[in-house]
Homo-oligomer: A and B are copies of this chain.
Amino acid sequence: MSAPVLSISRRTRETPFTRRVTEAGVRGYTVYNHMLLPTVFESVEADYHHLKRHVQVWDVACERQIEIRGPDAARLMQMLTPRDLRGMNPGQCYYVPIVDETGGMLNDPVALKFTDEKFYISIADSDLLFWAKGLAYGFRLDVDVNEPDVAPLAVQGPKAEELMVRVFGEGVRNIRFFRFALLSFQGREMPVARSGYSKQGGFEIYVTGSDIGEAIWDALIVAGADLNVRAGCPNLIERIEGRLLSYGNDMTRENTPHECGLGRFCDTQTAIGCVGRDALLRVASEGPVRQIRSFAIAGDPVPACTRPWPIYAGGDRVGQISSATWSPDFETNVAIGMIRMTHWKDGTTVEVEAPDGTRSAQVREASFI
């Protein structure tokens, strides 16, 4: 039976780039923040090889922005995350785990600081806007919380800097990793960050105003013709190899940041004001009992991982795989999952119950990079 098609409606919002994505021959989508996110163009494997060698333009408008503006903006930001934001400077991007009052993950976005009174939060797949608005209202904070007309466009791959310089000028080279600068396109200023959901390097343009989306897309495609630029998208294989986590796939509200290996982004002792602080203090000092690891799963290419696959060791259930796929470069199945501390040591052999049978797997502390 052929794969089900996606029924598209206004609710699964188009982006400022959807027409260009369609013209480029998109073959698959997912829905992310109620918006279309391309998943495949030529094939997931062909897209993967191209991404590692050349440069791609990605419609990641689904990384919706929450704009937090006003005198209490910094206070609200700190309420959201156990990462201590006092050292964050204008022009910085921070990866910020967002937790509820129980310490459960609600989102894992990147925050951009413009001033003490203005931030963007570039969100993963959940309506974080509702949580931020609820807190702002409940605590009567002096802030405006909204979703502005800003649509991220990513430029990823080893030739990304060269391409970006051609369209946004030499200033691109001075942008350090996880920093952003305000650069101009056709006279309009917009944040450009050195960041993105791949390990191949690149940038994210926070396209400000839907009306200019196709013009920027076209400028990148034209300027990069000799760089072999083409439309792409976050690549399943590359992101699992690099252990780039996906909210909703690899972690949910059930998990603390520490379980997700994000303890290094938590300063629970000093993040005074974070609503999840009390709940996280103990796990922050003692560590979690299960944690995310990479896995190499033996055998032929695995089927699509559409639900968690249990991990067993000696008959006991010790974890679950949440993302998995065949890696052409590593010539094994690569996976992300969560496993109990009794079995999370590098090299431990476990059994994975995949839909097509039980397979042997090896725990890896490092990702496949």
Contact = CB atoms under 8 A, between A and B. Distances in A.
A126 interface: yes
A236 to B, nearest CB: 8
Given A134-B134, A137-B138, A246-B11, A5 B34 contact: no
**How many interface residues does chain A have, given as a range?**
35 or more
B39 A305 contact: no
Interface string A58-77: 00000000000000000000
A28 B6 contact: yes
Given A1-B25, A31-B30, A10 B323 contact: yes
Count of chain copies: 2
A4 B134 CA distance: 36
Contact of A137 (B9, B134, B246): B134
B248 A10 contact: yes
A87 to B, nearest CB: 26
A342 interface: no
- 8 tightest CB-CB pairs across the interface, nearest first? A138-B138, A134-B134, A11-B248, A127-B127, A31-B31, A130-B130, A7-B39, A6-B6
Interface of A: 1-12, 14, 22, 25-31, 34, 39-40, 100-101, 106, 125-128, 130-135, 137-139, 236, 246-249, 275, 304-308, 322-323
6 contacts: A4-B5, A4-B8, A5-B27, A9-B304, A9-B305, A137-B138
